[in-house]
Structures are given as structure tokens and as C-alpha cells.
Amino acid sequence: MTTSDEGDSESQSVRRDFGALWHPFTQMSEWSREDPLVIERGEGNALIDDQGRRYLDGVSSLWCNVHGHRHPKIDAAIRAQLDRVAHTTMLGLTHPGAAELAERLVGVAPNGLTRVFYSDAGATAVEIALKQAFQYFALRGETNRSRFVSLADAYHGDTIGAMSVGYSEAYHRHHRPLLFDTIRTTPPHVFRWERGLDPRAALQVAIDEARRTFEVHGDEVAALIVEPLVQGAAGIWPHPPEYLAELARLAKEAGALLICDEVATGFGRTGTMFACEQAGVEPDLMCLGKGLTGGYLPLAATLATEAIFEAFVAPYEELATFFHGHTFTGNPLGCAAALASLDVFDDEQTMAHVAEIVPLLHGRLDADVASLPQVGDVRRVGLMVGVELVQDRETRAHYEPALRVGYRASLAARKHGVIIRPLGDTVVLMPPLSITKDEIGQLVDATIAGIREVTGA
């Protein structure tokens, strides 16, 4: 440890952390053996630690940062809001930011979504969509529509309802008895699940399974929930737009609702403002979080069609009200950040920038990463990338989990000035949309160095 003031403050932070903190998704026995990075500041696409070292934020601070850190326009908007009020409730009151943002979100969202219900996290946006779908059918007297269809290995958040429509062998192990029963259908994941099939054949197998699912269960389904185009936390598993379009068609044909969980894919991450646009799909409910505020503050939203909204509009005594709301729902600081973030999309032509940098990123991945001896698969849609490390490229055999290869490769990349975080043995890259061409080079070079160091390639 250094004896400088900064060093002292670092060790004090670490001491306090080790003494009093419990980190999310973290095995604390490993954490307490590490030398944690203490982030003090952010600047553009970089995070800066308490020793003054700069790191490229290669996973957008858990997939949420959009325009970089400390963006002057978003900072100013939050400061200006702070001079008005930091928080006021949406239960029985409204405020200008929430109202303006709702109108703006309806303006950028896919057609048909006309109502915005705020909350404060991706998981709560999902809970709300599930409860709205369920209550919608209950209010219509269709009480048989009480189940949900979701994709194998889906991830929709960590609360009980969101977990119930998700699936993870590791994450759900101890809570399975608490989860409600969900109908699963398997997406066309060529590398692992449909081995031996080419993408076309795998797509057909997946569509056939979805079709059978709706044939058997169609009239008991309230909604199909899907992460459009990319299943993120499952390991960055893309599916073709045709699959999403067919799922949407099957749900509609069965009289069920379609919920698009755009918490991770929304706000430009896949190359369009929302991923479902690429399949020409118009969901009945859409969940937004993460990038909604530019990745600044905890604000989320569930967007609904007018038809769903209207089913809840009735005299009070009928108890059709949607009795759901969190304390910080529609927080004014979050709304101010979100409005400023939408302005930045226009001012900086963010999506045009994304269109320019995505081919560059994909080109580097194809040219320099896919060929590394221990890289089994490079999966990417827009700025969402998963590099799966395998012990054997031919057999696609996994590494022993105890080797923690993905984790160690990500830590090794840190020495090259880049912060990334894996999902199992899949190294995830998900930079802010504002990443520059030079920074893409840095991101890919550090990833290669990290993988080489750990796999001995």
C-alpha cells in the first residue's frame, strides 16, 4: 500500500468495504482476497480510480451508460432539477419532467405504445409488465389466461416474478420453490443448443417448438416475454429478427400479449433505438431501464398500449386500479437525466455514430478475436458482444468452472486499462454508445491480451 494521502484513503475505503459491504452477484470469499478497484470519478468513456488510473468503461457500468460519464448536458439537467426538487411522489401528484418524458418516450417507442408507467429498476419494470398483463385478462374476465411463456435461459431481473420468467441453473438454485411455473420455449442458439444445425435449420426447429408451445398452451397464456434480439445475461445469445417476428405473430394469433424486455437492448445498444424495431415488431408492453437516464440514475418505465390502459379505467369501486407503485417511481432527477439523454441522442446524432462504429467493432472481432485458439464463439449484435472461451474449439468443451477463466481474463484486461466483466466463461464487451474509434481499438486489444494471458495462447 502506498503511504500517500490517496493511498491511505484507498485503503480506508477497502477496509470499510471489507468490513461492512456485501456485493451483488459476488462470492464474498473471493472478493475479500482481491485488491478491489475503488472508482472515484468518471470522465467520458473512462472511469478513474483513487490512484488516478484511467480505465475504459468496457461494460458501460453494467450495460447502462449511453453517452459517457459526466456528460455536461446530463449533469446540467440534473443540477437544474436539484435546484427545483429532488423527489416528489407520482402517487396522487405529477411533475413536469415525468409528464414531458412520458410524451417523449411515447414519441420514440414503437407504434401503439401510448402509456408510460414509471418505476426504478429493470426488474420492477418487468414485474409491472407481468402484473399488468395478468390483471388485463382478469379484468376482461379471461381468467384462464394466467400463464407466461418465456425463452429458455431468459433473464429478466432478480425479483421473484422476474426470476420466475427467467431461468438460471446457478442463480435460481436456492429459490426455485418460490418461483411460479412458466412455459419455456427454446430459441435458436446454434453454438450450444442446436449443435450440428446450420442457422437456418436451427431457426426452423425453434419456430416449430414455439408453434407447438402455442398450440398446446395458447389459450392459457397471458403474455410471452422476450429479450428482443439478444438474451443478455444468458451469455449474449442473439436470435435472428425472423424468430422474434414469428414469436410476436404466434402470441398475437393465440390472443396473448407480447412483452418486450428492452431493459438491456433499449436506447441504441443493438444498433437501433429499440431492438424490436429490427423485426418490425410492435409489443403490447415494453420494459425500459438501464439506458433510460443515459445510465445515470435508477429510473425505469413500462410502456403499454391504449387498449391495455383502458381495461384498467373504471369507477373506483370496481377495483380495476393498478395497485402498484414504488416510492421513487418517476423520480424527478431521473426524469431530468432521461430527458437530457434523449436530447443528446438528437444533438450528437448518437445513432449515426453507432452505425459508424459497429462495423469497426465487428470487423476487429472477426479479424483478431474469433481466431484465438481458446475462443469458441463470438456473438454480437450492435454494441452487445459475448466472446465465449472454451477448453477445446473442436468439441466446444467448457473449462472447469473452478478455473474461472472468463473472470480471470476480464481481470487481466484491467491491466491494459479496460474494465470488462464476464458472464461465466463468456467475456462481455458492451461499451457506451459514445465509444470512439480509438477506444474500440483499446477495448479489443485489451480483451485479446486478457484472453491470451489466461489461456496461455
Residues in contact with ligand PMP by CB under 6 A are 63, 121-123, 126, 155-157, 227, 232-233, 261, 263-264, 289
- Quick one: 254 or 258, whose CB is closer to ligand PMP? 258
Supply the DSSP symbol for 178.
G
Q: Say which DSSP state 141 is in.
A: T
- Nearer to ligand PMP by C-beta: 264 or 303? 264
CB of 298 to ligand PMP, least distance (A): 7
Going by DSSP bridges, is the β-strand pair 113-119/230-231 parallel, antiparallel, or unpaired? unpaired
For residue 286, the minimal CB distance to ligand PMP (Å) is: 12
Beta strand 147-151 pairing with 183-185: parallel
Complex with ligand PMP: residue 221 or 292, whichever CB lies closer: 292
* Nearest distance in Å: CB 59, ligand PMP: 11
- Which residues neighbour 318 within 8 Å (Cβ) at sequence distance 6 or greater? none
Q: Report CA-CA distances (Å) from 219 to 118, 222, 250.
A: 30, 8, 12
Choice between 119 and 135, CB closer to ligand PMP: 119
Q: What is residue 96's three-state secondary structure?
A: helix
Look at the alpha carbons of 388, 62, 269, 161 in this order and tell me if their dihedral is positive or negative: positive
**Nearest-approach distance from CB 381 to ligand PMP, in angstroms:** 13
Closest approach, Cβ 457 to ligand PMP, in A, equals 30
Helix (H) or strand (E) holding 40: strand 39-43
| Residue (185 or 455) nearer to ligand PMP, CB | 185
The radius of gyration of the chain's CA atoms, rounded to the nearest angstrom, is 22
Nearest residue to 152 (alpha-carbon basis) of 112, 206, 220, 221: 206
60 three-state secondary structure: helix
CB of 234 to ligand PMP, least distance (A): 9
In what helix (H) or strand (E) does residue 455 lie, and over which residues does it extend? helix 437-455
Residue 389 CA to residue 424 CA, distance in Å, equals 9
Residue 354 C-alpha cell reads as 453507432
CB-closest chain residue to ligand PMP: 122
Cβ proximity to ligand PMP: between 46 and 162 the closer is 162
Smaller CB separation from ligand PMP, 77 or 225: 225
CA distances (Å), origin 119, targets 24, 51, 222: 20, 36, 22
Nearer CB in complex with ligand PMP: 226/340: 226
Per-residue cell: 53: 488510473
CB of 287 to ligand PMP, least distance (A): 7
Q: How far is the CB of 133 from ligand PMP (least distance, A)?
A: 16
